[in-house]
Amino acid sequence: MKRIIISGAGGQGIKLMAITLGKVLAQLSYNVSADIQYDAAIRGGKIVAFLTYSKEKIKNPVVEEPDIFLKLHREGDHFVAKKVICDKRMC
């Protein structure tokens, strides 16, 4: 089972990216679980997408320590992950 967190600000396309990635993984025959949490603000508010995917049935989709953390905004949350991807100006 693999877990991914994508964190950023409203208006950056985080929700679209998470949904698209989930659909691609599903087409590759993975079981996918996605949870998207965001502030009520339309632009600039915090948004975090949690994705879990596996060839096996997903028993617990909760993402606490992701395999990959993609941080797209300096105000985004910080998570401990096996691999962190972010622009050096934001980390």
Which tens digit of pLDDT belongs to each residue from 17-39? Answer: 999 999 999 999 999 999 999 88
CATH, domain range 2-86: 3.40.920.10
- DSSP letter (8 states) at residue 39: -
- pLDDT value at 44 more than 80: no
Q: Which of 60, 2, 4 is nearest to 36 (CA)?
A: 4
- The β-bridge partners of 48 are 7, 37
Per-residue pLDDT, 26: 97
Contact 6, 72 (CB under 8 A): yes
Per-residue pLDDT, 76: 60
- pLDDT value at 10 more than 90: no
In the structure, what pLDDT confidence band is assigned to residue 41 with cuts at 50, 70 and 90?
low
- Please report the beta strands in the chain, taking only residues with DSSP state E, as ranges in sequence order: 2-9, 31-38, 46-54, 68-71, 83-86
